[in-house]
Amino acid sequence: MEILNNLNNLLYKSIFVINEEEIIKILEKHNIIQEFNIKKIYPSTLNIKIKPTKLIARVSNNSQYLVGANGKLIEDKSNNELLPYIFGEFNSQDFLSFKKNIEKSMWSFSNLKELSFFPSGRWDILTDKDILIKLPQEHIVASLNLSKELINNDNFKDFKFIDLRIKNHLVAK
């Protein structure tokens, strides 16, 4: 609705004088937009297709902010969707890179309850089964796959803590 209000001033302009850059500037201000397409259909139609971003996580220190698949923070006070929480001072690009690593692994992002980012650049994850996994800074996909294999192994079924931070060294409790 807010997007529509921002585009309202273009409503009574001639299609010949509407500057596409002006429309782009208005649309890029809205973090909820993943992508858009603008097409002028002469003599009098302006067709704007907008694809909203998918909401993928909730910022822990302020539950009103969500992280979109486009890496942008989106304020949304009314969203009740069950999303994992992110703790720590994270960079959107680091988070998106980490999410891609999760998608490359045997894990599904929907199986995660919490993600914690540390200043050292590494992540911890808390699964939907309340298992804390401490990941190293490097070899994330391999570590995620190992953690998934351990959790699925009957010998580790009662463990609630897996530490993979040190190479070739496993701590599980």
Do 148 and 131 form a contact (C-beta atoms < 8 A)? no
> What top-level class would CATH report for the domain 55-172?
alpha beta
Sheet with 112-117: list strands edge to edge.
73-75, 65-68, 55-59, 85-87, 112-117, 123-127, 132-134, 161-163, 171-172
Domain ranges in the chain are 2-52, 55-172
β-pair type (132-134, 123-127): antiparallel
Residue 138, amino acid:
E
Task: Give me the pLDDT at residue 156, please.
Answer: 78
Distance (Å, whole) CA 135 – CA 105: 13
Specify the 3-state DSSP secondary structure of 8. helix
Q: Please say whether the beta carbons of 7 and 48 come within 8 A.
A: yes
Tell me which residues of the chain have a pLDDT lower than 50: none
Give the list of residues 6+ apart from residue 60 with CB closer than 8 angstroms, or none. Answer: 85, 86, 87, 114
Sign of CA pseudo-dihedral 95, 143, 121, 64: positive
Q: What percent of the chain has pLDDT over 90?
A: 27
CB 135 within 8 Å of CB 143: yes
Task: Please give the pLDDT value at position 79.
Answer: 76
Residue 62 has what pLDDT?
A: 62
Query: According to the model, what pLDDT value does residue 145 have?
Result: 92
Position 116 scores a pLDDT of 92
Say how far apart CA 165 and CA 100 lie, in whole Å.
Answer: 19
